[in-house]
Amino acid sequence: MLDRFARATFARGHGPGKGGEAIWNSPALGLLGIGAFLATSIAGMTVVGNLLDRHFETEPVLTLVFLVLGMLAGFYGAYVQLRDFMKSSLPPDGDGNG
C-alpha cells in the first residue's frame, strides 16, 4: 500500500526533485511520531508493570514503578527527538554557527 502511495505521490509531481516534498517528510508527521513515541513509552511500560504485578502479586507497586520509568524514558526520548527535529527544521543562520 505504501509503495502505491509513493508512486502516486511522485507521479503527481510531488517528492524530492519534483517541485514538492513527499508527505512522509512533513513536519507534522515528525511531531506525530514524537507524540506516538511518548504515548507508547508510557502505556507500554505501564502494561509491563501491570503484568509483573499480577505475576508477583505486588499490585500496584510495580505498575507505579514502571509507569514512572515509562514517563521518564518517554519524556527524555521525546526531548531528544524534538531537539533533533528543531535543529533539522531551522534554516542555517549563515554565520557559520549552524
DSSP type of residue 25? G
Please give the Cα distance from 17 to 25 (Å, whole number).
13
Task: Please give the C-alpha separations between residue 79 and each of 15, 26, 39, in angstroms, as whole numbers.
Answer: 29, 19, 13
pLDDT tens, 43-85? 999 999 999 999 999 999 999 999 999 999 999 999 999 999 8
Please give the Cα distance from 88 to 93 (Å, whole number).
12
Q: Which range marks the domain in which residue 79 is found? A: 25-89
Q: Read off the C-alpha cell for 16.
A: 524530492
> For residue 16, is it within any domain?
no
Please give the Cα distance from 72 to 52 (Å, whole number).
19
> For residue 52, is it within any domain?
yes
Which residues neighbour 21 within 8 Å (Cβ) at sequence distance 6 or greater?
14, 15
> For residue 96, is it within any domain?
no
pLDDT tens, 9-38? 555 544 455 555 566 678 888 889 999 999
**Number of domains the chain contains:** 1
Reported pTM: 0.69
